[in-house]
């Protein structure tokens, strides 16, 4: 297996950590005299994470919570804690739905164990573990897919209590059961945001719609934890009513998660339309790329559902 690697960027302020499929960017406002030691310790922890996860991969790909009791690795346990509330609610989910966020959380917390900083961001392919203190703030961009087109942004402050941001959708790196271009979730941890974004993106859907193309996940990735479940591979032209209906399905689930304390807020994007879940406070805080507030919801579809990336 390829060895873990590390190199600094921007004069040493940022650290890039790579190992197999994991590609992290660490950005911490540590003083220069402490940064080398902090990043060195971080790399030592990072270099064994992939091996830890691979050792428990069959259990992490299981959708049976009874099997999860056998999981013991620290990052893997973070994954289980993030997905367990959703499994108990009846959703199909495996711990792999939270893997990117859990790795980012582990790296952020490892830094915080020894070094105090006002601002720490660990970006794992767009799923971000965040620490803000004092007057620190950061701007997060919402990107619906891999084409890096900015669709919206939000400024986060320490008082918001956001520890993680994650995005999921059919245009991203992972397979999705739904048709959302992107669903960006704010939560207490990146693992929690990762799991929730996966399920909300799945819920943005129009089952049986002729414009949506799907294939079994196992045909695209033979070892996918989704098995033969149909994942979205293309979305054709949708009417305004179709778009509103699909977004409403996802937004109802997002609101339910917010009311249960599983997430803080979510932004759902489809075909240029955006819906916000999390109350008018967050609806006013999430801004379109042009600077205008985004619409909170489309009247007429409330309660209809009965299941992107972000960058710093």
SS3 34: helix
Query: Which of these, 174, 170, 196, lies nearest to 269 by C-alpha position?
Result: 170
**Residue 139 token pair:** 């701007």
Q: How far is CA 184 from CA 49, 179, 207, 237, 251, in A?
A: 25, 14, 22, 23, 12
Count helices and strands in the chain by DSSP H and E runs: 10, 15
CATH of the domain at 43: 3.10.520.10
Query: How many structural domains does the chain have?
Result: 1
pLDDT at 298: 35
Neighbours of 169 (CB within 10 A): 30
Q: Are 228 and 134 in contact (CB under 8 A)?
A: no
pLDDT at 292: 44
pLDDT digits (tens, 9 = 90+) for 218-266: 999 898 889 899 999 999 999 999 999 999 999 999 999 999 999 999 9
In the chain, which residues have pLDDT < 50? Answer: 289-312
d(CA 70, CA 138): 38
Query: Which of these, 165, 133, 167, 140, lies nearest to 155 by C-alpha position?
Result: 140
Torsional class of 283: left (φ above 0), alpha (ψ -120 to 50), beta (otherwise): alpha
pLDDT at 34: 85
Strand order of the β-sheet with 309-311 is: 287-288, 152-157, 137-143, 309-311
- Domain containing 291: what range? 5-311
Neighbours of 274 (CB within 10 A): 22
Query: Which of these, 268, 273, 281, 258, lies nearest to 308 by C-alpha position?
Result: 268
Give Dmax (Cα) for the chain.
Answer: 59
d(CA 73, CA 52): 6
């Amino acid at each position: 297996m390829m060895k873990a690697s590390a190199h600094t960027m921007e004069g040493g302020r940022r650290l890039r950590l790579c190992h197999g499929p994991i590609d992290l960017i660490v950005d911490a406002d540590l003083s220069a005299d402490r940064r080398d030691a902090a990043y060195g310790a971080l790399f030592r922890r990072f270099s064994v994470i992939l091996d830890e996860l691979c050792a428990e991969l069959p259990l992490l790909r299981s959708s049976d919570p009874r099997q999860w009791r056998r999981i013991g690795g620290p990052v893997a346990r973070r994954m289980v804690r993030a997905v367990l509330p959703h499994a108990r609610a009846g959703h199909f989910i495996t711990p792999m739905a939270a893997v990117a966020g859990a790795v980012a959380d582990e790296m952020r917390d490892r830094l915080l164990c020894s070094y105090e900083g006002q601002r720490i961001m660990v970006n794992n392919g767009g799923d971000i573990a965040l620490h803000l203190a004092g007057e620190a703030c950061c701007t997060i961009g919402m990107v619906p897919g891999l084409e890096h087109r900015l669709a919206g942004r939000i400024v986060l402050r320490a008082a918001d209590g956001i520890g993680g941001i994650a995005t999921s959708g059919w245009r991203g790196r992972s397979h999705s059961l739904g048709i959302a271009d992107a669903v960006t979730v704010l939560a207490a941890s990146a693992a929690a945001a990762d799991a929730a974004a996966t399920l909300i993106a799945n819920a943005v859907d129009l089952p049986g719609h002729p414009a949506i193309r799907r294939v079994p996940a196992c045909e695209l990735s033979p070892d996918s934890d989704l098995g033969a479940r149909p994942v979205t591979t293309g979305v054709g032209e949708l009417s305004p009513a179709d778009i509103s209906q699909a977004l409403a399905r996802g937004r109802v689930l997002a609101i339910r998660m917010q009311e249960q304390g599983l997430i803080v807020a979510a932004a759902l994007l489809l075909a240029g339309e955006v819906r916000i879940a999390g109350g008018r406070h967050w609806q006013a805080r999430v801004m379109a790329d042009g600077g205008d507030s985004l619409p909170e919801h489309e009247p007429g579809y409330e309660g209809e559902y009965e299941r992107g990336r972000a960058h710093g």
